[in-house]
Amino acid sequence: MHEKIIKVLIAKPGLDGHDRGAKVVSQALKEAGMEVIYSGLHKTIDQIIHIAIQEDVDVIGLSIMTGAHIQIVEKLMKKMKEEDIFDKTVFVGGVIPTKDVSKLKELGVAGVFPGGTPLSETIEFIKNNVKKT
């Protein structure tokens, strides 16, 4: 058997309309041999959960530039618990101040990759952190 292909959802929650970063990351993960589903802009947390369930992804990557990352992640984690999909690895990218990284990790985010992080770092992280089922 060949090794399991990692499926990733790259999602844009909330109101910011900047998705260059999300697209660059999507492309890089695709080139690293992953199957990437891009949500498109302006998704609610409920929609993101809905997509993650239907697509049965291993990883959810959130791209957030609004400054509302703490609130968004809190809401996502609560919903993931409710839906019992805590087996999925969550990472966050975008505009994230260093001071918030530990808080995000406390909430259950596995990795934080602010703008400027080398793409290879994100790829390595995902390959090493996908929770095997």
Partner 1 sequence: MELIKKVLQGDEKSAARLISIIEEGGDEGNRAISLIFPHTGRAHIIGVTGAPGSGKSTLIGKLAVSFADKGRKVGIIAVDPTSSKDNGAFLGDRLRMRNAEKTEDIFIRSMANRGYPGGIAKATAGAIYVLEALGKEIIMVETVGAGQSEIQIYSLCNTVITLLTPDCGDEIQLMKAGLIEIGDIVAINKTDNAGAEDLLANVAAYIEQHKTKSRQTRVLAIQADKGSGIENLTDALNAHFSFLNENSHGKDLKKIKLKTFMLALLKEEIWNKSLNVLTGNERFEGIVKKLEKGEIDPYAAAQMASEMTGL
Among 33, 86, 115, 118, binds partner 1 (CB under 8 A): 33
Where does residue 27 fall: left (phi above 0), alpha (psi -120 to 50 degrees), or beta otherwise?
alpha
Burial of 53: CB neighbours in 10 Å, binned 0-12, 13-18, 19+: middle
Among 25, 29, 59, 62, binds partner 1 (CB under 8 A): 29
Q: Where are the beta strands (DSSP E) in the chain?
A: 7-11, 35-38, 59-64, 89-94, 111-114
Total residues at interface with partner 1 (CB under 8 A): 28
Question: In this complex, which beta carbon is closest to partner 1, that of residue 84 or of residue 106?
Answer: 84
Asked whether position 39 contacts partner 1 by CB under 8 A, the answer is: yes
**Binding window for partner 1 (CB under 8 A); candidates: 47-55, 71-79, 94-102, 105-113:** 47-55
What does the binding site for partner 1 look like in residue numbers (CB under 8 A)? Answer: 1, 4-5, 7, 26-27, 29-40, 47, 50-51, 53-56, 83-85
